[in-house]
Amino acid sequence: MTPFSYTRASDAADAVRRGGSGQSKYLGGGTNLVDLMRENIEQPITLVDVTGVSTGIEPVVGGGLLIGAGARNTAVAEHRLVRMSYPVLARAILSGASAQLRNMATIGGNLAQRTRCEYFYDDGGSRCNKRRPGQGCDAIDGINRGHAILGVSSACIATHPSDMCVALAALGASVHLHGLTGDRRLPLTEFHCLPADHPEIENVLEPGELITAVELGPLPVASRSTYRKVRDRSSLAFALVSVAAVLKVDGGIVRVVRLALGGVATRPWRASKAEMILLGQPATVEIFRAAAEAELSDAQPSKHNGFKIELAKRTMVAVLTELSTDRGDISHG
Amino acid sequence: MIFVNGLPAQLPSDARVSLLDFLRDHLRLSGTKKGCNQGACGACTILAGSERILSCLAFAAQFDGQSISTIEGLSVEGVLHPLQRAFVEYDGFQCGYCTPGQICSAIGMRAEVKRGIPSYVTADLLAAAAVDRNELRERMSGNLCRCGAYNGIIDAIIAVDVEVEP
Ligand SMILES: Cc1cc2nc3c(=O)[nH]c(=O)nc-3n(C[C@H](O)[C@H](O)[C@H](O)COP(=O)(O)OP(=O)(O)OC[C@H]3O[C@@H](n4cnc5c(N)ncnc54)[C@H](O)[C@@H]3O)c2cc1C
Ligand code: SF4
Ligand code: FES
Ligand code: FES
């Protein structure tokens, strides 16, 4: 590991002052960054610990919730308002990693975590455009069972690994940033970039810019929402396919629907095509299937991950069916 | 300065030292084990305050002024912690390599259950979780056991009254 100096930021302004220049990195729970530093994939010379910055979870005046970027994943899933008003978010977080990792991981770190593509990790032996721009991608003709089928490019087919971000995409969350030039906020669905020709650029953060919070708008129907994750083993595994969904059916008609997919795309994937088909239509399995077909219509599978297309469709239909028939407010994982 | 099992210790000057290496190589507390060194096995689980975390993905420098507990701190004057005894009684291990992590993890897990934190398999996110085998398996999934002593581990955890203080 490259030597580095370690400092702790007292607040956002202090963090940006310390981390705004050169090869410094913000340190959240460290569950992704420490691993990548050990593999020499990340080589910061300064680590600015931001776990003490913006740790609160506060209701917003007029409805909604402001979640500080320094809040631990466990603290968010544990929060009563999250469990009550945004169960999809609580369940998505709880489906990720292990309890120990969730106790460490922060919201900011979860947003900015990097892909788990095995070739990306294999610094010594594999080519990777994300690690070394322009080098080529060994996943495209390699073993790509876990890779993406949506939002891919000829340069990179890596998935964004976060479960939490899929729920945030469905909920229409926004991200608050603080940088040397001031504050800005943007929709979570615009925070992560598609790989296109530059897979090394993964999000819109400017050098030294800090994530300070994630904001959830008021969305009463979200109390009826859930997250389902399909994976190779039932716990401590990344998603092959996951679905975050909010659904309100009234008189048999879909009145509100928010859908997002994980495990299949290069960034948290809001399923807008499916939503458009569902809205105002009867809540039937046939319509659910048609919506899923539409969303996956331009999927681009690689050699080993074609199964994800049908798996994603079936999971979407299953989750929508569950939410439209289950009488409880909160459904099962 | 960091406090390990109640005793103060000087932090390393090199910021690269992980909390795990600090415990094992600097303090010679080798009860905490190194399995994968990348967050995937749970062998290095310790308690920071009452929270279970992985010492392999943390730098010792992050714990300045904080208190942590390891497996070495659980027995009091030679008397084993109730969970330690239960692991012996219910065959919660074979080789024992994962055991310190399992036990620290189980202690942290019980505190989480008391706080009312749900798990992915909890049906009602707002109700107190029933601590059945299914729940325990999910909640303990961050700790792998190469010997496959899982049934004994769950038996041991169930056997210890959930109300017993850690
Ligand atoms: C074994 C294992 C299994 C896992 N399984 C899953 C899973 O199933 N599902 C899932 O979703 N995730 C999983 N994860 C990933 C885990 O969720 C992430 O590692 C975690 O969320 C990262 O958060 P952190 O605070 O530890 O980030 P760090 O490791 O501290 O940082 C990650 C990145 O974010 C940057 N960063 C941190 N905070 C900020 C900020 N405030 N502003 C700007 N940049 C910031 C850092 O500089 C770094 O680049 C797993 C991880 C491991 C090790
Ligand atoms: S898929 Fe992306 S991350 Fe993986 S090797 Fe190719 S370029 Fe690198
Ligand atoms: S050694 Fe820390 S999780 Fe495996
Ligand atoms: S007892 Fe051998 S690894 Fe668990």
Q: Please tell me if the CB atom of residue B87 comes closer than 6 angstroms to any atom of ligand 4.
A: no
Q: Can you tell me the distance from the alpha carbon of A54 to that of A50, in angstroms, rounded to the nearest whole number?
A: 8
Token output for A296: 């996956």
pLDDT, tens digit, 9 for 90 and up, residues A19-50 = 877 799 999 999 999 999 999 999 999 999 99
Give chain A's domain count.
2
B46: CB partners within 8 A, 6+ apart: B19, B23, B32, B52, B53, B55, B68, B69, B70, B104
Task: Fill in the DSSP letter of residue B152.
Answer: H
Q: Is A126 within the bounds of a domain?
A: no
Residues A273, A260 contacting (CB under 8 angstroms): no
Give me the pLDDT at residue A200, please. 97
Token output for B138: 């999910």
Q: Is A93 within the bounds of a domain?
A: no
pTM: 0.97
Instruction: Inform me whether the pLDDT recorded for B162 exceeds 70.
Output: no
pLDDT band at B161 (very low <50, low <70, confident <90, very high): low
Please tell me whether residue B160 adopts helix, strand or coil conformation. coil
Counting every residue written for chain B, the total comes to 166
- CA-based nearest residue in chain A for residue B119: A94
Give me the pLDDT at residue B166, please. 45
Backbone region of residue A186 per phi and psi (left: phi > 0; alpha: psi in -120 to 50; beta: other values): beta
Q: Please tell me if the CB atom of residue A148 comes closer than 6 angstroms to any atom of ligand 2.
A: no
Q: Please tell me if the CB atom of residue A288 comes closer than 6 angstroms to any atom of ligand 2.
A: no
Q: Is A92 within the bounds of a domain?
A: no
CATH number of B2-73: 3.10.20.30
Among all bound ligands, the one having the nearest atom to the CA of B46 is 3
The dihedral built from the CA positions of residue A35, A40, A42 and A44, taken in this order, carries a sign that is positive
Residues A130, A158 contacting (CB under 8 angstroms): yes
- Strand pairing category for B2-4 and B7-9: antiparallel
Q: Can you tell me the distance from the alpha carbon of B100 to that of B105, in angstroms, rounded to the nearest whole number?
A: 8
Q: Within 13 Å of residue A106, how many CA atoms lie on the same side as its CB?
A: 26
How many whole angstroms from A176 Cα to the centroid of ligand 3?
Answer: 33
Residues B77, B11 contacting (CB under 8 angstroms): no
Query: Of the candidates A199, A136, A204, A143, which has an alpha carbon nearest to the alpha carbon of residue A176?
Result: A204
Contact A104 B120 (CB under 8 A): no
Indicate the class that CATH gives domain B82-160: mainly alpha
How many whole angstroms from B98 Cα to the centroid of ligand 3?
Answer: 10
Q: Can you tell me the distance from the alpha carbon of B95 to that of B145, in angstroms, rounded to the nearest whole number?
A: 9
A87 contacts in chain B (CB < 8 Å): 125
Give me the pLDDT at residue B164, please. 45
Last residue of a domain, one of A18, A34, A51: A51
Q: What are phi and psi of B77, to 5 degrees?
A: 45, 50
Indicate the top mutation candidate among B36, B44, B93, B150 to test ligand 4's pocket, ranked by most ligand atoms within 8 A of CB.
B93
Mutation for B interface: A2, A27, A32, A34, most B CBs within 10 A:
A34
Extents of the domains making up chain B: 2-73, 82-160
Q: Can you tell me the distance from the alpha carbon of A211 to that of A178, in angstroms, rounded to the nearest whole number?
A: 6
Contact B105 A99 (CB under 8 A): yes
- CA-based nearest residue in chain B for residue A83: B125
Q: Which residues of chain A have pLDDT under 50?
A: 328-333
Give me the pLDDT at residue A216, please. 98
Q: Is A301 within the bounds of a domain?
A: yes
Interface check for A303 against chain B (CB to CB < 8 A): the answer is no
Q: Is A141 within the bounds of a domain?
A: no
CATH number for the domain spanning A26: value is: 3.30.43.10
Q: What is the ipTM of this complex?
A: 0.97
pLDDT, tens digit, 9 for 90 and up, residues B86-142 = 999 999 999 999 999 999 999 999 999 999 999 999 999 999 877 899 999 999 999
Give me the pLDDT at residue B130, please. 78
Please tell me whether residue A71 adopts helix, strand or coil conformation. coil
How many whole angstroms from B159 Cα to the centroid of ligand 4?
Answer: 19
Residues A189, A233 contacting (CB under 8 angstroms): no
Q: Is A76 within the bounds of a domain?
A: no
Contact A99 B57 (CB under 8 A): no
Q: Is A267 within the bounds of a domain?
A: yes
Interface check for B123 against chain A (CB to CB < 8 A): the answer is yes
pLDDT, tens digit, 9 for 90 and up, residues B32-57 = 999 999 999 999 999 999 999 999 99
- Strand pairing category for A182-187 and A174-179: antiparallel
Q: Within 13 Å of residue B162, how many CA atoms lie on the same side as its CB?
A: 15
- Strand pairing category for A24-27 and A210-216: unpaired
Q: Please tell me if the CB atom of residue B40 comes closer than 6 angstroms to any atom of ligand 3.
A: yes
Query: Of the candidates A138, A120, A95, A114, which has an alpha carbon nearest to the alpha carbon of residue A34?
Result: A114
Dihedral angle at the C-alpha atoms of A291, A295, A298, A300, nearest 10 degrees?
-120
Q: Can you tell me the distance from the alpha carbon of B66 to that of B64, in angstroms, rounded to the nearest whole number?
A: 6
Q: Within 13 Å of residue A264, how many CA atoms lie on the same side as its CB?
A: 30
Q: What are phi and psi of A157, to 5 degrees?
A: -125, 25
Q: Average pLDDT of chain B?
A: 95
Amino acid identity at B80? L
CATH number for the domain spanning A313: value is: 3.30.390.50
Q: Show the DSSP H helices in chain A as ranges.
A: 12-19, 33-38, 73-78, 80-85, 87-94, 99-104, 107-112, 118-121, 164-171, 272-278, 285-295, 307-325
Q: In what order do the strands lie in the sheet with B67-69?
A: B7-9, B2-4, B67-69, B45-48, B51-54
Contact A235 B112 (CB under 8 A): no
**Residues spanned by the domain of A30:** 5-51
Last residue of a domain, one of A35, A51, A67: A51
Task: Fill in the DSSP letter of residue B59.
Answer: B
Q: Is A12 within the bounds of a domain?
A: yes
